[in-house]
Amino acid sequence: MYDLHGDEAGRTGEAAGGVLRAFADANPLLDDYRAAVCAVNEGGEPRLYPGSPRILAQLLRTQDALILNEKHPEDAIALRAAMRGTPAAVHERDAYELWLAMLPTRTPRGLVVVDPPYEQTDERPRITATLAAAHRKWAHGVSMIWYPLKDRAAHLRWKDKLRRLGIPKFLAVEHWLYDTDQLGLYNGAGLFIINPPFAFTQDLPPLLEALRAALAPEGHRGTITAEWLG
C-alpha cells in the first residue's frame, strides 16, 4: 500500500502522472483499474494505492491460490501486514530461484508476475536466463514481466536477446510517454507477456489507446505499441 500524499509520491511525481490522471479520465475502459484502487480507499480522490499483490488478491476466485515473494526481510514484514486478511502465502526467498521452484504449477493454468525494482545490474540477464529455464519446464504457462523504459538502445539490445530465446507466443507491450526520449528520465514502461490469452489480445487495442490518451504528459502524445517477438 502506497501513500499518494506522502513525501515519496510527491517527490517522484509518479502519482500525479499516473493514477491521478487515470482517475481524471472518464473513459469506461479504465473502470476496472479505478475500481481496484477505490477498493482500498474511502471517499473520492484516492489517498492509498494498492501494490500489485493487493490488486491480484482482489482478482482471486475461490479456487485460486496466490503466492508472493519479497527477498528483503523488512519489506517481507510490510508485505505480510498489507496482505493480512487475504489467502496469500508470502515467501522470503530469491525471486528467480522461487520462480523455477514453483513450476510447473499444481493446477493446469497459472500466471507468473515478475515485477522487480531493476536496482541490480544483473536484473535483466537473470530474467532472460530464468525465463528460458521456466519456459522449458512450463511451456504453456502465462508469464508477465514488467519493466521500465529509460535507455532505448539498451532496451532494444535486451529485447533482441529475448527474441532469440525462440518462445513462440511472446508479446511486448510498450508505453513510451514522450514524443522524444528524455535522457536519464523514466520514459515509460512495458510488459512482456508469454502466452497471453486470446481474449486478452483481442481486447487490447482499444485499451491501449485509452491508456495512451489518459496518461499522455502535457504537450506530448506518446505511443503504445504491441509487438510479437516470437
Greater confidence (121 vs 44) lies with 121
Averaged confidence pLDDT in the chain: 93
For 106-144, the pLDDT digits (tens) are: 888 999 999 998 999 999 999 999 999 999 999 999 999
Nearest to 147 by CA among 166, 119, 169: 119
Nearest to 95 by CA among 79, 110, 113: 113
Region of 13 on the Ramachandran plot (φ > 0 left; ψ -120 to 50 alpha; else beta): left
For the chain, how are helix, strand and coil distributed in percent, rounded to 5? 40, 20, 40
So what's the pLDDT on residue 213? 95
Among residues 3, 115, 160, 203, the one annotated as catalytic is: 115
pLDDT above 80: residue 230: no
So what's the pLDDT on residue 66? 95
Report the pLDDT averaged over residues 51-75.
94
pLDDT above 90: residue 44: no
So what's the pLDDT on residue 182? 86
For 161-189, the pLDDT digits (tens) are: 999 999 999 999 999 999 998 887 789 99
**CB contact set of 38 (below 8 Å; sequence gap of 6+):** 46
pLDDT band at 15 (very low <50, low <70, confident <90, very high): confident
Q: Is 94 a residue of the active site? A: no
All structural domains of the chain, each given as residue ranges with its CATH number in brackets, are: 1-50 (no CATH), 106-230 (3.40.50.150)
So what's the pLDDT on residue 184? 78
